[in-house]
Amino acid sequence: MDGTLGLINDNFFDGVSLLLSAGALLFAALAHRVAKQALATAKMSDVAALKLKAHEGRERAEKSFLSLQTACHDTRSQWCRHHDRHYSTLGSRDFRQDDTRHISEIENEGRTLLRPLELGLSELGTMDVAALEDYIQQAHRTAARIEQLRFRLSPPKQLFA
């Protein structure tokens, strides 16, 4: 019995340090698992934020197109008033259409620019991070190009001051 107590007494600190080491390893494994879950959650959050930015970019491009359509409508109305005031109603329709043809061309160009952005929400959901970032940049470029189209609209020149 004295030998057993001596053996336990001699190895007590080794046993306690072994138990503490095992507990530390267990806690390290749990911390590693929690860190992996946090990383996965952060990645999902980043992708969700990119999806939101992509959706906002598409909305900005659509608003730019609606603004362009409004400007086209206003310019077309100015041309109609101009023709009504300064030319007879029996005048050539071709002449009137020549003056306003550029408006339709600009509006169609804006519609053509917007078309590649027409993805459904399910298609946005399947994109990876790189594709979402490319889509966001494309949406911003498209919105800027559509906004620039407004500057190509030419209202009628005033004949009388």
pLDDT digits (tens, 9 = 90+) for 9-34: 778 888 888 899 999 999 999 999 99
**Does some domain include residue 6?**
no
**Does some domain include residue 12?**
no
Structure confidence at residue 61 (pLDDT)? 95
Prediction pTM value: 0.73
**Does some domain include residue 31?**
no
Q: For residue 108, give the 3-state DSSP assignment.
A: helix
Cα–Cα–Cα angle for 155, 159, 161, rounded to 5 degrees = 105
Task: Specify burial of residue 85 (Cβ count, 10 A radius: 0-12, 13-18, 19+).
Answer: exposed
Which range of residues forms the domain containing residue 58?
Answer: 46-152
Choice among 47-56, 96-105, 129-138 with the minimum mean pLDDT: 96-105
